[in-house]
Amino acid sequence: MAMTREETVKIIRIMCDCYPNYKPNNLSETVDVWNMMLEDYSYEQVSVALKAYINSDISGFAPSIGQLIGKIQTISQPQELDGMAAWGLVSKALRNGTYGAVEEFNKLPPLVRQAVGMPDNLKNWATSDYQTIETVIQSNFLRTYETVVKRANEINRMPDNIKSLIEKTNAISYKAQFQQKFQRDINTPTIKENALIGQNTNAEEYIEAPKEVQDRIDRMRG
């Protein structure tokens, strides 16, 4: 349940009491702004986050709205895997990546999947030599995963309506990527298909016409 205006007043008064240097110029406007910006959170969530901030703060300054939302996320969201733990899951998935890339990809946590990109990447990485996997590929993955986690944390701090818009935009982008890949796949002959095409071409070049047809052609030429 969203925090009411009266509950927002309580939050502001607590900050005023705990931080003597926090003196809003216009208390009514400050309450309105904080109430609007924290509309996605309950009074319990905000008050717990404020208490956590006050207990750990050494700056002597009241929290900003963003800092308070950051505390809410830290308290309410499960901690994401660190980079090496995430790479450990990817490394394990590579053992079956050549033939079970899709299955292994789907087993990975959401943010790890985002950093990997798509099952084909697992398949391609699995065919690389050990040294390349443990140096180049690992390094690139760790950088990408760090960016993915940072972006996810930033998005989690945003209002629900903005998060929904971002998710919708990402869904459209992912759909377009997979459609392009599907189109490439169906337009690109496999090795087997190329072999068959080659066989058919050779067959067409070397099959002789029936004798009566060949005789008729020779008479026409004569």
Flag whether 162 is in a domain: no
The domain that holds 64 is classified in CATH as 1.10.8.200
* Contact criterion met (CB below 8 Å) for 153 and 73: yes
Flag whether 186 is in a domain: no
Residues 150 and 105 reside in one and the same domain: yes
Number of domains in the chain: 3
Mean pLDDT of the chain: 81
C-alpha span between 136 and 126 (Å, rounded): 13
* Contact criterion met (CB below 8 Å) for 9 and 47: no
C-alpha span between 64 and 50 (Å, rounded): 10
Residues 67 and 9 reside in one and the same domain: yes
Flag whether 55 is in a domain: yes
Flag whether 87 is in a domain: yes
- pLDDT score of 217 more than 90: no
Flag whether 177 is in a domain: no
The mean pLDDT of 89-112, rounded to a whole number, is: 93
Q: Which domain holds residue 71?
A: 5-76
Domain-terminating residue out of 76, 95, 115: 76
* Contact criterion met (CB below 8 Å) for 117 and 137: no
Instruction: Please report the pLDDT score of residue 165 as a whole number.
Output: 79
pTM over 0.75: no
Residue range 178-210, pLDDT digits in tens: 445 444 543 444 444 444 444 444 433 434 555
The mean pLDDT of 58-68, rounded to a whole number, is: 94
Q: How far is CA 74 from CA 63, 77, 79, 144, 156, in A?
A: 15, 6, 8, 22, 10
C-alpha span between 206 and 95 (Å, rounded): 47
Instruction: Report residue 19 as tokens.
Output: 């931080």
Domain-terminating residue out of 30, 55, 76: 76
Burial code (b: 16+ CB inside 10 Å, e: under 16) for 15-40 equals: bbeebeeeeeeeeeebbeebbeebeb
Instruction: Please report the pLDDT score of residue 174 as a whole number.
Output: 56
Residues 51 and 90 reside in one and the same domain: no
Residues 118 and 150 reside in one and the same domain: yes
* Contact criterion met (CB below 8 Å) for 75 and 49: yes
For the chain, the first-to-last Cα distance in angstroms comes to: 97
Q: What is the DSSP letter of 81?
A: P
Residues 69 and 129 reside in one and the same domain: no
Instruction: Please report the pLDDT score of residue 176 as a whole number.
Output: 53
Residues 13 and 57 reside in one and the same domain: yes
Residues 66 and 112 reside in one and the same domain: no
Amino acid at 52: A
